[in-house]
Chains A and B, each alone.
Chain A
Amino acid sequence: EVQLVESGGGLVQPGRSLKLSCAASGFTFSNYGMAWVRQAPTKGLEWVATISYDGSSTYYRDSVKGRFTISRDNAKSTLYLQMDSLRSEDTATYYCARQRALYGGYFDYWGQGVMVTVSS
């Protein structure tokens, strides 16, 4: 059974940093691209970043470029999101998702999500 378990969320002040982790199990982690998708309270879904299966390629939405870094450790089957210079608009539930490359890319398994609140 595919499982994705996020951790590392919490309350953080604007301008500070936070690092999210996502522990994967039930599939060969190193064979799949992975992504972070967020959802602000009572809002829709917003893609944040994607990393290729081997970590050699990364992609970000414009609003987080230069502030967020996606990475992975295939030996530990773990995905990360380093978030720096956090802003109030980054407040959201962050989901880790497995990404399939067919048809340009979609997300076939999602974690339960972790809440990040940016507030003073």
Chain B
Amino acid sequence: DTVLTQSPALAVSPGERVTISCRASESVSTGMHWYQQKPGQQPKLLIYGASNLESGVPARFSGSGSGTDFTLTIDPVEADDTATYFCQQSWNEYTFGAGTKLELK
């Protein structure tokens, strides 16, 4: 299985820039996607193909990377962005990272 590693938690202040990382145990090319999940809700697609913004998602969200190292950036962070962010790879079946919980100070 392709294992995706994310840092467990981050805390930032509104208005700041935050980067959430995801490292794959093997190359996944650009088969990396990002989701936001708020408590009690279903996941929501933010970024597909490493850097493509899903329709309707604010331009404050962006994605970058290829191969094994990927980043989701939120700039600027807003209070409503409090959530857990998951990466997902599609190069070798489908696996998800354990999620990064973003909290606002």
Residues of chain A whose beta carbon lies under 8 Å from any beta carbon of chain B: 35, 44-47, 50, 59, 61, 95, 100, 102-113
What CA separation (Å) do A41 and B96 show in the bound complex?
16
What CA separation (Å) do A84 and B20 show in the bound complex?
38
Is B88 in contact with A45, judged by CB distance below 8 angstroms? yes
A to B CB contacts below 8 Å, 17 in the list: A44-B96, A44-B98, A44-B99, A50-B94, A59-B93, A100-B48, A103-B30, A103-B50, A104-B89, A105-B94, A106-B90, A107-B43, A107-B88, A108-B45, A110-B43, A111-B42, A112-B42
Instruction: State the Cβ distance, A61 to closest chain B Cβ, in Å.
Output: 7
Chain A's closest residue to B32 (CB) is: A103
B3-49 contacts to A (CB < 8 Å)? 30-31, 33, 35, 41-45, 48-49
Instruction: State the Cβ distance, A49 to closest chain B Cβ, in Å.
Output: 10
> Which residues of the other chain, B, contact A113 by a CB distance below 8 angstroms?
42
What CA separation (Å) do A61 and B2 show in the bound complex?
13
> Which residues of the other chain, A, contact B35 by a CB distance below 8 angstroms?
45, 107
B43, B90, B91: the one within 8 Å of A45 (CB): B43
Is A104 in contact with B43, judged by CB distance below 8 angstroms? no
Is B93 in contact with A61, judged by CB distance below 8 angstroms? yes
What CA separation (Å) do A47 and B90 show in the bound complex?
11
A102, A111, A112: the one within 8 Å of B48 (CB): A102
Is A110 in contact with B90, judged by CB distance below 8 angstroms? no
Chain A's closest residue to B33 (CB) is: A106
What CA separation (Å) do A1 and B102 show in the bound complex?
29
> Which residues of the other chain, A, contact B86 by a CB distance below 8 angstroms?
44-45
Chain B's closest residue to A108 (CB) is: B45
What CA separation (Å) do A108 and B54 show in the bound complex?
8
Chain B's closest residue to A100 (CB) is: B48
Chain B's closest residue to A61 (CB) is: B93
Q: Lowest 6 A-B CB distances belong to which pairs?
A: A104-B90, A47-B94, A103-B49, A110-B42, A104-B31, A106-B33
